[in-house]
Amino acid sequence: MDFPQLKIGDLVAKIPVIQGGMGVGISLSGLASAVAKEGGIGVIAAAMIGMGEPDIGSNYREANVRALQRELRAAREKTDGILGVNIMVALTNFSDMVKTSIKEGADIIFAGAGLPLDLPGYLRDGARTKLVPIISSARAAAVICKKWLSRFDYLPDAFVVEGPKAGGHLGFKPEQIDDPEFSLEKTVPQVIETVREFEEKAQRPIPVIAAGGIYDGADIDQFLRMGAAGVQMGTRFVATHECDADPRFKETYVQAKEEDIQIIKSPVGLPGRAVIGAFLEDVKNGLKKPFRCPFHCISSCDYTKSPYCIGLALVNAKKGLLRQGFAFAGKNAYRVESIVSVKELINSLRQSYLQAAGS
């Protein structure tokens, strides 16, 4: 007995695990290719991907396109496994990132942080890229299915349902985060039910993938039993040697205690979950000052009222400069005890899954 496969259209992943796309710069070609090589789905995060380009401040759009091309090509050189790109709908360069991903032959686009209502409009004849919205409610699934059907005669190739235990920006109001009504356990069956009528119309499955707070093989077993086709995991993959972040970023997870992982109010107007450190303490105490915005990367960010630039803070964190930034993290990040290889992580997930599935 082994992990079941995850099928998204004609793509078949050997294991039902998608590595979550983590920006800024946390999941690039290094991590994505390592996960794809082990039979999972590796994902490159497009948000501010051009942060290392010399002209990122003066030539934002082209710098990001160039960097995404380079990361996709680098990942492709290392593996013939399944590679996706995570693109936030809220990005001001959403359109550039989608076009580049399709042109470069990315296997899947994962689109969240807003409803990607026009996504199928980017597919050109012969494009094989699968389109997978990231949602946090059954209502969002229904809205997307109806819109895509009426406008493009196309239905999502799968859905990722992200619950309130995820790291980073959350698609929930602050008061919903700890409300059991909005838990992943509640939402996944609702989405599966909602998607059923559209599967009949499409005459094909629309797999539902559970995300947010999934930590071990027992969690994977729980959601597969519920009818999910697979899971998406972000936090666990940060604590791997192949993750593209600085070792000091990864160490924040190893060192974090449960009380260090808190909900913050992000400058982009959403709640987010992060590891509290000196930088966020300063923000809380009103010590950050407004700044000039060189990027305008997120459409909902009003930099004139913001205490700090989230793009810059996340770039600094990726580089390990945690006094000038902070690490986003899932609710269970404090359970991480050491940095391991992607191969070791997947083997341990497999062991704990088989134990749970056999019981």
Burial 262-285 (b: 16+ CB within 10 A, else e): ebbebbbebbbbbbbbebbeebee
**For the packed helices 342-358 and 29-37, what is the interaxial angle rounded to 10 degrees?**
40
Q: Is the pLDDT of residue 8 over 70?
A: yes
| pLDDT-derived band at 277, boundaries 50, 70, 90 | very high
Helix (H, G, I), strand (E, B) or coil at 320: coil
Q: What are the chain's domains?
A: 6-244+338-358 (3.20.20.70), 248-328 (no CATH)
Mean pLDDT of 233-251: 98
pLDDT value at residue 219: 98
Q: What is the Cα–Cα distance from 211 to 133, expressed in whole angstroms? A: 12
Secondary element (H or E) of residue 155: none
Q: What is the pLDDT of residue 269?
A: 84
What's the pLDDT band for 336 if we cut at 50, 70, 90? very high
Taking residues 115-127, report their average pLDDT: 94
Q: Which of 28, 29, 3 is nearest to 14 (CA)?
A: 3
Residue 215: predicted pLDDT: 98
pLDDT at 289: 63
**pTM of the complete model beyond 0.85:** yes
* pLDDT the model gives residue 359: 67
Query: Looking at per-residue confidence, does 267 or 185 come out higher?
Result: 185
**Alpha carbon distance 37, 213 (integer Å):** 24
Segment 198-225 shows an average pLDDT of: 97
Q: What mean pLDDT, rounded, does the chain reach?
A: 95
Report angle CA 85, 87, 91 to the nearest 5 degrees: 155
CA pair distance 17, 75, nearest whole angstrom: 18
Q: Tell me if the bond preceding 24 is cis, omega within 30° of 0.
A: yes
Q: What are phi and psi of 48, to 5 degrees?
A: 50, 35
Question: How much is the pLDDT for 33?
Answer: 98
